[in-house]
Amino acid sequence: MESSATLPLHVCHVKKTELVINRLHAFLHGIALLSLFYYRITSLADIIRNRDNTLLLPHVLILISELILSFIWLLSQAAKWKPVARKTYPERLPGDEKLPSIDVFICTADPNKEPCVKVMNTVISALALDYPPHKLHVYLSDDGGSVATFRAIKQAWKFSKLWVPFCKKYKVKIACPEAYFLTDDESGPDGKFQSNEFIVEKKEIETRYAEFKEIVAKIIADTSISVSKDHPPMIEVIDDANDDGIDSNQREIPLLVYVAREKRPSHPHHFKAGALNVLLRVSAMISNSPYILVLDCDMYCNDPSSARQAMCFHFDHELSPKLGFVQFPQKFYNINETDINDGQQRSVWSKWEGLDGIMGPILSGTCFYIKREALCGTQKFREDVDFIKLKKCFGSSNEFIKSISIYHKRNYQIEHKFRENKVEEELQLLASCSYDDDTKWGKEASCGV
């Protein structure tokens, strides 16, 4: 018997049947194109040689258009040349105490276009990931600075104190409550029918979820949901620090932080990219996890084990030094049965499998686990590096630069550290709209120092 330390954390298989079909199709298609171009060129040569009344321009235009389309087709074959499939073995990972911490970034901007209930479902699904709670930190970026979103996230936190333990206890496979209750089944883990205790608890959670949605709906009705384009930064850890007593379930809930960066009409905010920049800086001061999960506010975590699956690649000693991120493709459900417009993006899945066979897929902007080091380039730091050069890359915050050079510290009592006045002032600076001014950040691919 091999020990788990020697067994691979993941395997990669070439999809040989698809490979043969794709390459055979490319070969036959290529022969057809060569025959077509031979015909076009010989036809043009005959027209030029005979100098008859046949118009030359239409033939030239057709040839040019066919050359362009053929070139596009040729480029597309790269995504079909070597399709691969991967399988992970999360059970072979080291114990929870050896797993690295993860920061989750969720971005929202406008509660009018992105309903609060859906956004909070994404937040709740992230809190319910199958990962050690003290090593998971969820940040919600509210670019609109909406009071409704801020009040809603507090309600989401309260509901999570019931939902997350329920998911852990019964190993719920669908971490998003909205999607879970739509399944309308009475089965627990592995699809097996559970005891009366499970059914009673599920109905209780469903009732609490309905109450949560009613409260959020009331918040939306009673609160202005206008989007602010002129507001100061606001950063707050969502917890029960002000309560008289602390619920024991709180220890089972990951850290949740609300971030509304400063926005001024006179400063460009760079949309989602600007929001992620602020989250990167703010999280470095609070949790500074070496890995980051980025989610759009409408992309809930449909598989709670995704964090452990991603670590199967990041823990590979041969692959990890060359690995920047692990991409989980987007997938859409509740699609029309005919799905004539490919709403489930099946074609995209097949392309990503092909791109994975030739050094990896593109970054889709959501649903990926990326190394903080890949963004900040900490491996290039030298002990004798000029601090002034670092400030030109990463801004004026000394504390932020120190966190980058370390890029991962041991977890500590984050809430107490966060409430120190010095740290609060530093966070206000890092979330300001002018922090990036006169720096190389965003202008160079890597701040090599």
CB-based contact 10:89 (threshold 8 Å)? yes
Mean pLDDT for the stretch of residues 24-40: 96
Residue 407 lies in a domain: no
Q: Would you place residue 193 in the very low, low, confident or very high pLDDT band (cuts 50, 70, 90)? A: low
Helices (H), 51-170: 57-76, 116-127, 147-170
Q: CA nearest 434: which of 246, 266, 201, 210?
A: 266
The reply to whether 316 sits in an annotated binding site is no
The reply to whether 91 sits in an annotated binding site is no
The reply to whether 296 sits in an annotated binding site is yes
The number of domains in the chain is 2
Regarding whether 72 and 114 lie in a shared domain, the answer is no
Amino acid at 137: H
The reply to whether 386 sits in an annotated binding site is no
In 347-359, which positions are buried (b, 16+ CB within 10 angstroms) versus exposed (e)?
ebebbbbbbbbee
Looking at residue 243, which CATH number applies to its domain? 3.90.550
Regarding whether 132 and 108 lie in a shared domain, the answer is yes
What pLDDT, on the 0 to 100 scale, is given for residue 396?
A: 85
Q: What percent of the chain has pLDDT over 90?
A: 56
Regarding whether 130 and 59 lie in a shared domain, the answer is no
- Tens of pLDDT along 220-261? 998 877 778 888 999 999 986 544 444 434 457 999 999 999
Regarding whether 312 and 289 lie in a shared domain, the answer is yes
Sheet holding 291-296, edge to edge: 234-237, 255-260, 136-142, 102-108, 291-296, 368-371, 325-327
* pLDDT surpassing 60 at residue 321: yes
Regarding whether 197 and 105 lie in a shared domain, the answer is yes
What pLDDT, on the 0 to 100 scale, is given for residue 119?
A: 96
Residue 414 lies in a domain: no
Regarding whether 39 and 81 lie in a shared domain, the answer is yes
